[in-house]
Amino acid sequence: MSNLCVAHRGFSSTAPENTMAAFQLAMEQPYVTWIELDVQLSRDGVPVVIHDFSFNRTTNGEGLVRETNWSDIQKLDAGSWKSRAYAGERVPALSEVLDSCKGKVRLNIELKTQGDMYPGLPAAVIEEVRKRNMQDEVVFTSFEPAALTESKKLAPEITTGLIIDARPGDLLARLRQLQCGFLSIGYTNVDKSLMREMKNDGIQVMAWTVDDKIIMKRLAVIDPELMLCTNRPDAWDQALQKSSNRA
């Protein structure tokens, strides 16, 4: 299958992002081969799956993730903001997501941090992944180069990838310096020359975040190995699968 479908924060157009409901719904689609999710640390060091640094947007709580203990995070409602049907969905621990996804889909785990906000984040995530022997089922990505450097130092066997929404002239040099085998890049920066340069260096490329079927088709034409990250896996299916199935 070409242009692998990556469900961004799960099937997040329908279910509340970064919840077990969104991940389960994504896994129910046979064409979803990867799920992207975000990980931070609770105050007491538990890796939790949430995008924003605060709880305000996606839960009924408020305050910062890093200042809140896991026992309090577990009490939050992370579903009602999306729809009443998802009332009571929780903020999952990374351990729960790994357990449910093992052997079913691969995971793009974004280490959600800035500067030295979470010094223990790579180590805590690596511990959970190694505990389940899932090193070959995940990649670690981050906007923060220091998090990638630390991950590679602690777990050279796990593929890492830089997240960027630009295309600086020294991009390949940066990736080599960070020992990245993966690139997560804003889709507007993708063209044939980028794909050629990255593939020649053995770097897997994922374009984010694409919800428009016409843009998906345009990206697919650039290169079949370009992964497409989307909030709408159903749109990916309509754009890329159903047309080829009819042929």
Identify whether 209 is a catalytic site residue.
no
Rounded to a whole number of angstroms, the CA Rg of the chain reads 18
Identify whether 8 is a catalytic site residue.
yes
Catalytic residue among 4, 8, 82, 162: 8
Calculate ∠ Cα 201-224-187, nearest 5°.
Answer: 75
Phi, psi (rounded to 5 degrees) for 233: -55, -30
Catalytic residue among 43, 51, 167, 199: 51
Please list the active-site residues. Answer: 8, 51
